[in-house]
Amino acid sequence: MTAEEGREQSAAPTGEAPEPSTLTAWLAHLEGLHPRGQAGIELGLERVLRVKEALAQEPACPVITVGGTNGKGSTCAYLEAVYSFAGYRVGCYTSPHLLVYNERVRVDRLPVDDRALCEAFARVEAARLASGGIALTYFEFGTLAALEVFRAREVEVIILEVGLGGRLDAVNCYDASCAVVTSIALDHTDWLGPTRTTIGFEKAGIYRAGKPAICADPDPPPSLIEHALAIGADLHLIGRDFGYFGDRQQWTFWGRHGLRRGGLANPALRGACQMRNASAALAAIELLRSQLPASMQAVRRGLVDFQLPGRFQVLPGRPVVVLDVAHNPQAVVGLVDNLGDMGFFARTIAVVGMLADKDIAGSLAPLAGRVDLWLLADLDLPRGASAAFLADVVTAATLGGHVECLASPSLAFQRSVKLAGENDRIVVFGSFYTVAAAMHSMQNGR
């Protein structure tokens, strides 16, 4: 995610602050509304529900909510693509963004323009002020604005990605017609609890009574299952109620009552986890078929005809550059598996920057003996880890390879390009911030 710049400097004739007039100014305004700023986290639904009520937001179309530790973005992308190819007007809200905020709010698979966002922000701001000037967080404000965009565009299906957890996340103020939990692993433990049991309960909070509730984690904690059963959700578990089988050429999705959807091309994104994510998306599509019919042609196209930047994104050219936002142990294990399928490279150069509240040691451990050169970067953020700290982790765990510390992910990526030979590969991972910095560097020709 990139930090936003700019703030309105002029004052209105009355002495009151003027309403922002550009997207940059609006984003700066959002950062200043809550004491914790853009990166701040304050879970809870009370604030966002009050403003939602003032806006009279009640989606008139099916809503699919997607949560989970890893795999949320790709599952949303599969759903978005299939329903778009099926002919629906699709609204999709995801986070964080890599290069520009507009990436978060898409209609018909395209980021909405600045004007649409500014108009939505203005409506949310008016409702916020009318509700007593509630101090919404950056994410809460953005969530409400996304729904305003979707209402204005009259979308026919809404896909919402959970920001953090589920039960107390802002998107959970909208009742899901179908809710998907992709995986449950240790991440954000300061907020969600220290175990898969506590995290599973938080993520299960997006399920609704009598509505399809999908879990694509092959070993879900009992807390998730117990909560789904306690509220009367229609629980569908991978391996029990739906799943997949196949080979490197094609695969078959299966569901309850002998359902089979065969001859499917493997998903555009690589890795075994993507088969689970794609299966979860297909399970949702099957369960909503009475409301949102989708042809098998739309399903087949949707699984392969899309790109999701930063999810094991292999860039063309030499040296090979791999971008992956993996930032926890489960995700990095998937990254390592995918790297192992790439073939031979003379050297692997890792460009890494991470947030300090992540399991850094656990995330770097799967790369033991697989990296020849570590280019470790400071993240100049309130939650950012220093390159020196990352270096201490690499050294203490004897992960192998030479280590260099740099002042930013941009400098680390530029260093990697300078040092890499045409038969080497550069792997950029550890945070959305790190991947975004590398993408900015490439855009700027550095």
pLDDT at 35: 62
% of residues, the chain, pLDDT over 70:
93
Pick from 181-195, 251-265, 380-394: least confident = 181-195
Q: Compute the distance between CA of residue 283 and CA of residue 179 in angstroms, rounded to an integer.
A: 11
pTM of the predicted model over 0.75: yes
Beta bridge pairs of residue 251: 246, 264
Q: Compute the distance between CA of residue 347 and CA of residue 202 in angstroms, rounded to an integer.
A: 41
pLDDT at 44: 78
Identify which has the larger pLDDT, 20 or 418. Answer: 418
pLDDT at 36: 59
* H-type alpha helices, 3-85: 23-33, 46-55, 72-85
Concatenated DSSP letters for 182-193? ----S-SHHHH-
Pick from 45-49, 233-237, 381-385, 388-392: least confident = 381-385
Tell me, what DSSP letter sits at residue 314? E
pLDDT at 21: 87
**pLDDT tens digit string along 266-318?**
888 877 788 999 999 999 999 999 999 999 999 999 999 877 889 899 998 99
pLDDT band at 94 (very low <50, low <70, confident <90, very high): very high
Domains of the chain from N-terminus onward: 23-304 (3.40.1190.10), 313-443 (3.90.190.20)
Give the angle 40-216-270 at the CA atoms, nearest 5°. 85
pLDDT band at 341 (very low <50, low <70, confident <90, very high): confident
Nearby residues of 13 by Cβ (< 8 Å), 6 or more positions away: none
% of residues, the chain, pLDDT over 90:
76
At residue 107, the 3 state secondary structure works out as strand
Identify which has the larger pLDDT, 168 or 39. Answer: 168
Pick from 96-100, 105-109, 182-186: least confident = 182-186
